[in-house]
Amino acid sequence: MKVITVSQLNRYIKTLLEGDRNVAAVHIGGEISNFTNHYKSGHLYMSLKDENALVRAVMFRGAASKLTFTPENGMKVIVKARVSLYEKDGSYQLYIDSMQPDGVGALQVAFEQLKTKLAAEGLFDESHKRPLPRCPRTVGVITSPTGAAVRDILNVLGRRFPMAKVLFAPVLVQGDGAPPQIVDAIRRMGSIEEVDVLIVGRGGGSLEELWAFNDERVARAVYASTVPVISAVGHETDFTICDFAADLRAPTPSAAAELAVPDAAALWRTLESLSERAEQSVLRRLDREQHRLKYLQDKRCLRSPLFYVEERQMRLDLLTQSLLKAAGTHIQRASVRLASDAAKLDALSPLKVLGRGYAIPYKTDKTVLTSVHDVTPGDHLEIQLRDGAFTCTVDA
């Protein structure tokens, strides 16, 4: 009897599994569970399960770096893997070479995941979006130098608003090298003071061809741009992360050019209309002022200033006469009232009483005597008569 070790057994089973072409490269569908992302090593560990069974799996860093989405627990996927044995614990597992979501494209999953992430960070908030300048001095254009998009943009800009300058930054618009070039172009355009608005985009294509504009780096560069950005990627039905982060989304590159600049012909018509209205307004004002001037010229005070003075002098004379007449009447009435009041006072005057033979006796202190008890023999008194006064001495 030959005795072998556990390690030998596991190694033998591993050799059998790895030598079986039926499990060397299999496509397996299942639901992810027990997912672990080892950030330091870059390896992904998980289990794949269905209703009745479960198998452990690992995806090493090299293969994991090629994923365009982030695996999650509960996600149904299809993996291409080889079956082998992990000798240390004697369990077999899958070594995944590639993975894609089951039923939904990997790019679409990645799109939704990034959209959710950036929306939560506020990169799509309406409060951050800026209005476009009404009449930009310079329009920055970031797109491919060879595609139809740049020709469409330049044609529309030249036709609608030839006064604006166009600053063109040629970049790749698809492939791994596209996002860094787009990000760099956005930053360089933002550093140029005279650039007032940016158009970033490309013509239509598949989701894979438009994927550079779903790159997180591009979205963050658009959000951080110091210049308002119009996103013009693909056709009207195409939506990218760049569209959500931009200040304005245009359905096509041509539409972006129309949104970026005003229509010079329409502006000219507006200016002509405003000019005509201003001219009519000035003419109406001139006509009113001419009528007013004619009215003033016809006034006698301007045609004959002396007449105006003489007329005022005549009025002054009339006012003077009226004043004198009123003053005389007032004085006459006052004189009558004064004579009446004087007569009344005269009737009440003590002198009238004295004129009828009465006298007023005063003591030396000018106190009027009203009783015989107020005097004693020897007092000196002053007697006031109608026409004078004399002194006397009281004998008894």
Q: What is the C-alpha separation between 260 and 10, in angstroms, rounded?
A: 68
pLDDT in tens, 17-43: 877 888 888 899 899 999 998 877 889
* 3-state per-residue secondary structure call for the chain: CCCCCHHHHHHHHHHHHHHCHHHCCEEEEEEEEEEEECCCCCCEEEEEECCCCEEEEEECHHHHCCCCCCCCCCCEEEEEEEEEEECCCCEEEEEEEEEEECCCCHHHHHHHHHHHHHHHHCCCCHHHCCCCCCCCCEEEEEECCCCHHHHHHHHHHHHHCCCCEEEEEECCCCCCCHHHHHHHHHHHHHCCCCEEEEEEEECCCCCCCCHHHHCHHHHHHHHHCCCCEEEEECCCCCCCHHHHHCCEECCCHHHHHHHHCCCHHHHHHHHHHHHHHHHHHHHHHHHHHHHHHHHHHCCHHHHCHHHHHHHHHHHHHHHHHHHHHHHHHHHHHHHHHHHHHHHHHHHCCHHHHHHCCCCEEECCCCCECCCHHHCCCCCEEEEECCCCEEEEECCC
Contact (Cβ atoms closer than 8 angstroms) between residue 46 and residue 35? yes
Can you give the length of the chain in residues?
Answer: 396
Q: Can you give the pLDDT at residue 260?
A: 94
Q: Which of 77, 91, 75 is nearest to 28 (CA)?
A: 77
Q: What is the C-alpha separation between 110 and 101, in angstroms, rounded?
A: 10
DSSP-assigned beta bridge partners for residue 70 = none
> What's the pTM?
0.56
Q: What is the C-alpha separation between 195 and 230, in angstroms, rounded?
A: 13
Q: For residue 382, with 0-12 CB atoms within 10 Å meaning exposed, 13-18 middle and 19 or more buried, which class applies?
A: middle
Q: What is the mean pLDDT of residues 370-387?
A: 87
Q: How confident is the model at residue 164 (pLDDT cuts 50, 70, 90)?
A: very high
Q: Which of 143, 155, 131, 26 is nearest to 82 (CA)?
A: 26
* Cβ atoms within 10 Å, residue 195: 20
pLDDT in tens, 220-265: 999 999 999 999 998 888 889 999 999 999 999 999 999 999 988 8
Contact (Cβ atoms closer than 8 angstroms) between residue 95 and residue 55? no
CA atoms within a 13 Å half-sphere pointing along the CA-CB vector of 22 = 2
pLDDT in tens, 281-302: 999 999 999 988 888 777 776 7
State the angle between helix axes of 148-160 and 253-260 in degrees (0 to 180), rounded to the nearest 10.
30
pLDDT in tens, 334-355: 998 998 888 888 777 777 777 7
Q: What is the C-alpha separation between 160 and 135, in angstroms, rounded?
A: 11
pLDDT in tens, 113-153: 889 999 999 999 999 999 999 999 999 999 999 988 999 99
Q: What is the C-alpha separation between 125 and 234, in angstroms, rounded?
A: 23
Q: Can you give the pLDDT at residue 104?
A: 56
16's CB contacts (< 8 A; 6+ apart) are none
Token pair 């693909």 is found at 234
pLDDT in tens, 46-76: 999 999 999 999 999 999 988 878 888 888 8
Q: What is the C-alpha separation between 95 and 224, in angstroms, rounded?
A: 41
